[in-house]
A and B are shown apart, each in its own frame.
Chain A
Amino acid sequence: MKNERRNALTNAKQMYKLYPNYFSQPPGRKSKTLLIMKLTSLLLTLGIMQVSATSLAQKITLQEKNAPLNIVFEDIRQQTGYDFLFTKTLLKNAKPVSIDVRNVDLQVVLSDIFKNQDFDYEISDMSVLIKKRTDLPADSKQTTVNLIDVRGRVFDEQGSPIPGATVTVKGTTHSINTDGAGYFTIKGIDDKSILVITVIGYQPKEMAVQSYMGNIKMSLSASKLDDVQVIAYGTATERTEVGSIAKVSSEEIMSQPVLNPLEALEGRVAGLLVTTSSGTPGSALKIQIRGQNTIGSVPSSTIVPDNPLFIIDGIPFAPQNTSINRVQGVNDANGVGSPGSGISPFNSIDPADIESIEVLKDADATSIYGARGANGVILITTKSGKAGKTKLTGNLYTGVNSLTRTMPLLNTDQYLKMREEAFANDGIKPTANPGNSFAPDLKVFDTTRNINYLKQLYGTNASTQNADLALSGGDAHNTFYFSLGYDRQTYLFPGDFVDDRLNGNFRIHHTSSDNKFIADVSAGYSYDRNDVPGTPTILSAYTLAPDFPALTNPDGSLKWDYKGINYSSYFPFGSTNPMAYLKRSDIVGQYSFLSSLLLSYEILPGLKIKTVLGYNTLTANEFSTYPASAQNPASSPLSVANKSINNFYTYDAEPQISYDKQLGKEKFSLLAGGTLEKIDNNYVGIAGSGFSNDLLLGSISSAKTITSTDGNTPYKYSAGFGRINYTHDDEYIVDLTGRYDGSSRFAPGKQWGRFGSAAGGWIFTKEKSVKDVLPFMSFGKIKASYGTTGNDNVGNSLYTSNWSALATSYLYNGSVGYLPKNLENPDFSWSTTRKIDAGLDLGFLSDRILLSADWFRDRSSNQLVQYQLPSQTGFSIVTQNFQADVQNKGWEFVLSGTVLKQSAFTWKTSFNVTIPQNKLIAFPGLASSSYANYLVIGQSVNTIFGYKYVDVNPTTGVYEFMTKAGTVSSTPSAAKGDNKFIIGNTDPKLYGGWRNTFGYKGFQLDLFFEFRKQKGLDYMSSFTEAVGNEFNVPVDALNVWTKPGDIATYERLTSQTFGTAASNAFTYYRTSSGVFTDASYIRLKTAGVSYALKSNWIQVVGMSSCRLFVNAQNLLTFTKYKGNDPETQNYYDVPPIRTVAAGVNFGF
């Protein structure tokens, strides 16, 4: 290739325009673009890394040694598209060029190249004209050095000065930082030197020196690799980071009409699995980074997801991801405090105030959090002000919420037919009298009535409103940010249930005039009031027979009798009038205060002492009522009201000392610090019962009986930590961290643990030999880390046996009683997770396409669990360390890039996928432990055991299962789990997201798909009784066996809850492989269209920007899942709701 070019050049004519022979220029540009587009698409879809094409970037990367000038020109031309115009004779005297620059402005490169040449150049339009030097120095070979003083000032794109920018004299170790106002002065340097100015997140700038450099404007790095990332105790860029960290930007969060910032993370980050528990407003979310590290405390039930550590502006968030309500509400689908249900404390945080959310995954990124980093860390950073013009920005939208995918239910005709067939199958004549043959739906109710109770309960469209305003600005030394937000979301249930939030945030940043002292103060307050219907039982209410009589009287009061019989006899399985649930309420007020103070002082250049102090608190005030009017008069109604206050606090102090030093190409960064932290959760609850009138429910003191509960769980934690970061020439990176941790959750002597990590990275594209072989690759880094993190995630004071007093109102004949609370075990201590991560980060076409691949393997041992015990021990659990090793390994791929970028049309895409695998790798003594029948070595900890479903016996019409003996039976004996097989697990096999944003002029289209490949339990697993009993079912459930010879999906109907062959077989079926089904899905999670109004229009009203948008969340779901929603899976839960919102985003 080079030879060919050389020949072409030698044979050139007098006047040279370097392109015609083998490049077709202006017309060719289009086809090149097309080529790039095609290639990019190919890359994105197939992940193939082979590509050879040129780019139009204005940044140049050159590594040449004694190369002929024309070859250098050709290289530059390929990279920039600039043509070089020169005469052959002129170049005769050209000197060979040696140059080594990366990502440097064309101008800088040219000045470098022409430094020692006898001719000059001139840039015009897209070409460089080479001409004779008019003012040649008297002696071009002169080597005298002129020393000068250089002064200048560094600004960002908006014209705000940048303090702390590094100004280095190229090729020397001489460097200095800009002061608080962006000024720098370097004394006594060669007047031919080049200055290199670097700032994190900006493109490095090289400039030839002159005594006054003027205002130097830095431009933001075009490469995502240079985006600022928040890491533990600092910031970094992806380019030189060796830990595994993912960032979700404010832009991405704000593209979604959601009120809880955690919701905005779903599908956005490789390795982060976010699962919505319910579509009711304010519901908690399950969050897990890189899989389940611990074994379930109750092996037979759902394993509690390992929550990552949540840190907001450097301070651990007091409630973390626990549900904050104490009295049962509709969000507690699995009971109060059950994992992933209840009300999320993250509702107190307005997504609009978030600058970025970083997800720290591997040992290098998390080890410095020591004990609490085992399950990964999520750092939330709030917005801060920027120096410059004072700006007012706002975001307003309003939207409609509706129910997503549900299974259609039987109408009365279908339902009655089903019931009749069920009775006929059992040979029982339905009667109007309570007992086994009681069939009120057939014999008592008005069978012409047809009500869809699902629609009646969830059919209402709900609404979402949001308004956010922020004011920010400041100068070089002081910046501020102040924001206010209001959100409101109503429920799908009939009634006035609503979740509103009001919040305000401020942040002030101060830098002293000498740039040595920094103070950063932030505080945020929010109030969220969630008015929830009182009980999740409402969710199963739509199993009512569609001909069930009216639930309310014409005056709105509840109806309890029909044809002389109380409803309690008609409601199957202990349910009650669903309208009664809506008369109960549970109002949860969330008051959250977040504050942090950072003080930093630079004692000597590079040596800083710093303290982060933080306090945050979240108080949940709950008021729930259960009025007598909402109760069946036959059940001795007793009006009850509950009030509770649940407080969470974090007090955090983290003194640190850091030292940064650059010696030529070597850069050191040292950090040492300590943590003192107190986390408290205390609550007080009072309950009143026996009010004389429901109107008095608001005043507990008017109750006849008042009881109270309280509790507190003091938790303290302290640690010392350190980090050493070493970088050689931005090419080799080494990172070492360590932490020594103490937790009050362990018995004295067991409290302290040591954790640490080592990581390294090599940016191999810095090597010329690599560059030569892979010219299309603009960036390449391999990295690896290994380390340990810990976990003290157990309750407080569990190492000793505690007794608690029963409430004083709960007296036995006037005497107070104590109850033992837990079994004693002083032996448990830290559990540890060893994490290995290896990653490859690649950039192509000047970082226009970025690919990163990570392989990880986390092994958790010395598991800290609530070991399940047989009840003969008096308790069902004891806190123990558990000698079981759980391994999570997997692959994460992220591919992002700009597929197309033309002046009018842009297409950006970003795709991430995670392929996780969870496995129990060791468990000494498994066979004799209580986990013997729930865990298997070599299988996931979420393994489900069940009966092996065979078919519906065509002759008997009843489900059949395989036994261990190889026979087929409809009632495989359950004793000892003998006939249970591993039927699979519910771990996702693959999950991820794909975002595409298309821009055309002012329009932008944003499509985000979330996908998950997984198995799950279908709707049949939610039924406690066999189909055919007195409850409504989805139409799908009618694919039943009706006569001998039928090959049917489901067994014959039965009218009985027990005792018939079909009802017996059903008890096995609901825990068999028959209900284990594909729950994979692809969801169009977010779809948004926006239009930015032209600036000349909006300037009239003084606006600087204005964007109109329509965003939709959960718009479409593609799935084959047999149930309501493949994500929440619970048949009786509200599936994730669909929101379509329209609004405006503006700035003044």
Chain B
Amino acid sequence: MKNQHNLRNVLAAALIAFCGLTLTSCRKFIQVPPPANSIVTSEIFADSTDATAAITGIYINMMNSAGSADIANGLTDITSGLSADELNITSNVASYQEFYINAITITNTNDATLWNTAYTFIYQANAVIAGATSSTTLSTTLKNRLTGEAKFIRAFLNFYMVNLYGPVPLVITTDYKITGSLPRASIADIYTQINSDLKDAQALLANDPAPINKLRVNKFAVSAFTARVQLYQQQWAAAESAATTVINASYKLEPNLNNVFLVGNQEEIWQMTPPAPGDETTVGQLIIPGSTTSVPTFIVTNTLLNFFEANDQRKLKWITSSIINNITYSYPYKYKLRRDNATTPTEAYSMLRLGEQYLIRAEARAEQNNLAGAISDINAIRTRAGLPNTTAASQADVLTAIQHERSTELFCEWGHRWLDLKRTNNVGAVLSADKTGWKSTAALFPVPYAQTQLNPYLVQNPGY
């Protein structure tokens, strides 16, 4: 009995002590460490490995996994190809079909993906720029490298946004309180930012050794892209000079057209590879039909087929076809692989390649009336395609020949055809002849409906 009493007393005392203790330790109790699978921003930019991983995260995010295309991973190629006169679609998926008929609804999901993914990557770039700039522990070399890459990526995405959508909000900070209600910037302001970002990137990446790695942005990628941006702004001399920098570097046109899009090809200036194991490029996955009995989803138009001169090797090597039910379906064949479960990818998504640089320089030279220089650049491309030298002689003819050459060299790549038609003010003339129901307002994609709902300051493009 006594023992029982003792036990009870002990229990009672323990209870009292426990209650007292817990009540006094409440405040401390609720401090928790951050989740084990995340790192706070300040920690990221305190360490070189982590900071590098932050920029690698942009590449991984841009490449996504196979089958889910985004603005930097094939969706621009396909939507622009459909909008122009390069691609057609055999399935009745409205989110693609609407691009083909140039009547995109504002709730189109692919349109929303283009817009949303661009800003996701821009945020990441801004985060790296802010984090690297404010870091006190990173070396200057690494800071320069990270900031240079991030600024380039921001410029690259802004270039596509302004060309696909017209004046878009210009986002250069991570603070959502500022960016959340940004209205559209002017096209001039966007180009000013692109130019300044490219200039900064050029300077920040200038001391990098020659392209050690085509899979990351390097100083030649910056030059190559600067050439294009200058061309679009009709800064012919600047475009020529930037293109020359690249052409004079160690890149070479790949003589075998079947090899151009392989990982590490000598023609490639900047490539990206899919991070998901076993994947090849998303464009390949979307375009190459799965079996001989599958009707290809995306087929090339007769208009595009007719662009090719006889014996153009590019028509033979970069386009192929399936015959199903006695009907021939031709489809782009630059990328030749679907998902193949290989340990490392064989093909890489071409972001910038030398072929385009020749054509940029040709156009810049032609505009500056350096016709001989222009013709020699055109012929470099034609020779590789197995074609005779161009017969164009006058400036106008040379310029026409350059546009023609761009349509056969760069077809279904990065929306070149669509943007070329627009920048040369030919889009209406060409497409109204090719398609029914063309409206001039279709030259710009619509701002996704949800975004105009979420940002009351965001105005829709005319015609939508």
Contacts and interface: CB of A to CB of B under 8 A. Distances in A.
Contacts of A673: 19
A974 B40 contact: no
B123 interface: yes
Interface string B210-247: 00010110000000000000000000000000000000
A570 B435 CA distance: 27
A24 B294 CA distance: 92
A845 to B, nearest CB: 47
A38 interface: no
Interface in B10-46: 11-12, 15-16, 18-19, 22-23, 25-27, 29-41, 44
Given A599-B15, A818-B39, A813 B215 contact: yes
Contacts of A972: none
Contact of B213 (A569, A603, A813, A1058): A813
Contact of B59 (A565, A719, A812, A1056): A812
Given A564-B325, A636-B338, A656-B19, A569 B59 contact: no
A820 B23 CA distance: 38
Contact of A817 (B59, B213, B293, B460): B59
B8 interface: yes
Contact of A812 (B34, B94, B105, B275): B275
A601 B180 contact: no
B293 A565 contact: yes
Nearest to B169: A872
A740 to B, nearest CB: 8
A574 B456 CA distance: 34
A704 B106 CA distance: 42
A657 B19 contact: yes
A1119 interface: no
A743 B90 contact: no
B447 to A, nearest CB: 9
A9 B208 CA distance: 119
B37 A712 contact: yes
Contacts of B266: none
Nearest to A717: B30
Contacts of B60: 806, 810-812, 817, 819
Interface in A628-655: 632-636, 638, 653, 655
Contacts of B335: none
Contact of A816 (B53, B293, B329, B340): B53
B456 A565 contact: no
Interface string A871-892: 1111110100000000000000
Interface in B316-343: 324-325, 327, 329, 338-341
A711 interface: yes
B107 interface: yes
B61 interface: yes
B123 A874 contact: yes
Nearest to B12: A601
Nearest to B171: A872
A436 B19 contact: no
B39 A611 contact: no
A276 B353 CA distance: 56
B132 to A, nearest CB: 13
A601 B449 contact: no
A800 B293 contact: no
B90 A434 contact: yes
Interface residues of B, number: 100
A933 interface: yes
Interface in A421-456: 432-436, 438
Nearest to A743: B30
Given A635-B290, A874-B126, A805 B325 contact: no
Given A813-B213, A930-B453, A601 B120 contact: no
B464 interface: yes
A624 to B, nearest CB: 18
Contacts of A599: 11, 15
Interface string A310-322: 0000000000000
A673 B93 CA distance: 62
Nearest to A1030: B92
A561 B294 CA distance: 9
B115 interface: yes
Contacts of B338: 636
Nearest to A562: B293
B291 interface: yes
B254 interface: no
Interface string A606-618: 0001110000000
Nearest to A813: B215
A434 B325 CA distance: 10
Instruction: Pick the most buried of B4, B36, B180: most chain A CB atoms within 10 A of its CB.
Output: B180
A716 B29 contact: yes
B249 interface: no
Interface stretch (B95-103, B142-150, B395-403, B421-429): B95-103
B34 A818 contact: no
A568 B290 contact: yes
Contacts of B120: 871, 874-875
Given A566-B295, A638-B339, A817-B56, A812 B126 contact: no
Interface string B294-320: 110000000000000000000000000
B224 to A, nearest CB: 19
A720 B34 contact: no
A569 B176 CA distance: 44
B50 interface: yes
B58 to A, nearest CB: 8
Nearest to A637: B290
Interface string A451-491: 00000000000000000000000000000000000000000
Contacts of A821: 38
B454 A712 contact: no
A807 B90 CA distance: 36
Contact of A751 (B30, B105, B115): B30
Contact of A744 (B15, B31, B39, B294): B31
A713 interface: yes
Contacts of A806: 57, 60, 275
Given A517-B11, A599-B11, A868-B454, A803 B35 contact: no
Contact of A875 (B92, B176, B289): B176
Contacts of A818: 39, 44, 50, 53-54, 56-57
B325 A565 contact: yes
Interface in A642-687: 653, 655-657, 673-674, 676
B386 interface: no
Contact of A655 (B23, B181, B276): B23
B92 A1057 contact: yes
A1030 B92 CA distance: 10
Contact of A871 (B56, B115, B215, B460): B115
Contacts of B16: 609
A10 B431 CA distance: 114
B22 A878 contact: no
A690 B23 CA distance: 55
Contacts of A815: 52-53, 56
Contact of B35 (A566, A713, A1057): A713
Nearest to B293: A566
A705 B277 contact: yes
Contact of B98 (A564, A819, A1058): A1058
26 contacts: A436-B92, A561-B293, A563-B325, A569-B90, A569-B294, A609-B16, A634-B289, A638-B341, A653-B22, A674-B19, A674-B22, A676-B26, A707-B277, A714-B33, A742-B30, A744-B31, A797-B32, A806-B275, A817-B59, A817-B60, A818-B39, A870-B180, A872-B451, A932-B456, A1030-B92, A1057-B97
Q: Which 5 A-B pairs have the closest CB atoms?
A: A874-B123, A634-B290, A655-B19, A634-B291, A817-B57
Given A517-B12, A638-B339, A811-B275, 10 more contacts: A435-B90, A566-B291, A573-B93, A599-B11, A611-B19, A634-B293, A802-B38, A818-B53, A870-B458, A873-B176
